Each structure stands twice: as C-alpha cells, then as structure tokens.
Amino acid sequence: IIHLKRFVAESSSIEKDNTFVRFPFELDLSQWLPGPPAKGEQYRLYAVVNHSGSLSYGHYTAYCKVGEGADRKWYLFNDARVTPASESDVVSQEAYLLFYERL
C-alpha cells in the first residue's frame, strides 16, 4: 500500500495538495533492495482510492480490478454505483491510496 500525502499543513491551516502523480501499473522494487534479484520484487496495481473535494468537504471513490487471472477488468466504485472503467481512468490527480499485489 502506498499512501500519497494529499493534505499539507501550512501555517495554521491544512490544504489539499492536488499535484498530479504519475504512478506505474507495474512496480519493480529490485533496484532498491540489496543483493541479486529475487522473487517478490515485482508488483501490479490492483486498486486506487481517490479523494475529490477539500479537507472540509470531500468524497471518496475507488478503482479496483475485479475478476480472476488475465480477465480482470477495472471498475469504478462510487457509493452504491459500480461502473466499468478503463486503465486510463485510474491514474488521476485524485489518487490517494495505491494498492499493489506481489506477482
């Protein structure tokens, strides 16, 4: 799980940081681990929690891969509504939490 820090304390207030963060769908951690490459260093994105709005008023949604194996598809979960989504929808400036699974 990777948490993108979206709320920043400045002076006496807390503001939301809407910086666009481009994150990978495939994550390779081997360059940050000592020794020869080993199994367990490759990860795939399977869910993203989004936050829209401000600190005082906001809304959470999530993109998640649903299904089994290579047939898994992206869906947008928005309260009681679930709709198909494309991979291009998943990376946005509203991304807040990233969930990766080990390959």
| 69 Cβ neighbours under 8 A, 6+ residues apart | none
Which residue spans within the chain are E strands per DSSP?
2-3, 7-10, 13-16, 26-28, 42-53, 58-66, 73-78, 81-84, 95-102
73 token code pair = 């598809």
pLDDT of residue 66: 97
pLDDT of residue 3: 96
State how far the Cα of 74 lies from the Cα of 48, in Å rounded to an integer. 10
Domain count within the chain: 1
Question: For 27-58, what is each residue's pLDDT tens digit?
Answer: 998 888 887 767 768 999 999 999 998 877 88
State how far the Cα of 92 lies from the Cα of 75, in Å rounded to an integer. 15
Question: For 55-67, what is each residue's pLDDT tens digit?
Answer: 778 899 999 999 9
Q: 45: domain range?
A: 2-102
Q: What is the model's pTM?
A: 0.88
Burial class (CB in 10 A: 0-12, 13-18, 19+), 63: buried
